[in-house]
Structure 1
């Protein structure tokens, strides 16, 4: 029965008897560790162009891995064991530096060089009768170390994945809370984001029981329509934060399919990080008010829900209506706000509005087209007329009794 493997680096008691040939090989192996390490280092510099481009600290760490690999082979050749302690003997405390410095592919290239150096020295290290056994041991050992390296990288990837998930959740939460933009920018950079403009936030319902792969699948699909994407699930809501997105209806429609049934709202496009929190707040306000518009499209822009948001008590929506609709109409003069007010109050009748204002019906049509040009909302469309009427209401309420709004009403 084979004895249990000795602890790495400790004294190994109860040695098994070995043949004279193997004993001589072990003696030469022990005395050649330094020479083999030096030869390996030279071969790494000669055969691997990327090795010489590493920093001195990185080359030192990788050189230590190679040296440990050779020293551990000597011990392993004397007493083959399971790869559990081979992992600690070869890589020691190097996994963090190793996975940061080079990819798994390059790590395996390094291991191959180490194995080739030892294999090339077999004729000088073993008697002829023991050379086949030494070559076989080199191949078996290289397999163990390759598996150990793969295990190191798999654990590192799992750790990075867990950290990235936590960091992503922190970023999503920071955006929703309007956290300091410098800290937010630092965290997004740590996550590897490249987008610097055109940020959009989409919110909607998440599946009741999302699968373990759901978030990754959402992130992958979102990456087709945006340069970067963050995904967050808070309770029953799915949050998509998109960077570098091309704002078109087809992209938003495709992204809305990632959400569970129910309203999906996207906030106004933010051109920079300081604006992204406002976009998120608008999207959430729109989601809360969306049930007041049963026939709303899916997805729907938060700005298309301004009337419902105002009724729900969203002060940002009230300000938006005043700033984007009411004030531009006041500034345009030429009877636009008076004509719009009369048209909405008189049941959307062109003729009744013309009679009320003592102008021709074509003048009313022209002024309503100008309203559309100034505000972007068409009073001839029922839904958009509702938005305009809400803007008039909140604008009049915001005006002082002796302000320009009174003059506008007297003219209407």
Structure 2
């Protein structure tokens, strides 16, 4: 068996095994309904892995070392894997703010990607025809264009997934290791095309480039697999009504006054893209052994929900809220919980920290998670609440956005400046 045959066989078998594992994770994510449309990201990753399996099957019939004969078919398979990898980006927890307006409607993002690569494949066809008639210059151009596209997509995917790993119990070391793997994969996207173009010079290095490509892709898929599996497990536990710390929260004890020790532990606010509902999840801790997650969904943004968004963002920004009518708002926020969970009686002291009339929710900022931040801050109901309490956020404007009030005529009011700063900061 030659080294090329060993490489192809290894690539085919490993990517097939990874594809099967990704499919199993996809079914698991769909069953547990984790992270809104996160299961679609898993599906696209499974298709990305399967595309490498198809490459392996195709290469079994092509045992040439440095042939440009089947160059067009290679680029088609490369475009296929790029389509799936780029399509998955929009479904991960981290959103790239500068691109958000392009994929706010995720279906449009995926459709645009397919149309873009339809154009690219058409151009590849033209280049291939020109190469047949006029020599290898167009074949080289074809390799270079595909390498540049693949590199850009890998950089974008690596950045999004690195940021998304913070939404699951992933160590900093693992994130750095994943980034190194992505860099190695990108290096192969440069080295292998060069070995096609300058095959006489790089003939001796070609086997090592193949080894680097195979090993780096195995580690890449393994790191993606660990993240997907960990994210689903972590978020499924968070969405459960009762956490594993205590399988039996004594509701009778709670009703009989055991809520004296109840305290807000964590907050999640976001939008469920599957149910099309606005969601708030609170973890209420009774003691070290007992805690309960309560979840409330609504198809519309109610005023209490808007105030929960206000306080959650204020906590993340280290802003304390003061207003003469705040007592009514805090009462409605707590009553919003009581109407859905009457057995859990919360007091203002269990939810809010009072610092001489300035209030924050009573939990660590790291325990506050906000999904679809841009979507929430663009809603009129949420903007109205922020406008009512804009004075509390003015220090952010004065300290961090100096000079924009005078120099930037495109920004129409302070509220939009503050909301934009919040979007850029969280």
Do the two structures share a fold, i.e. TM-score over 0.5? no
TM-score, with length taken from structure 1: 0.23
TM-score, with length taken from structure 2: 0.23
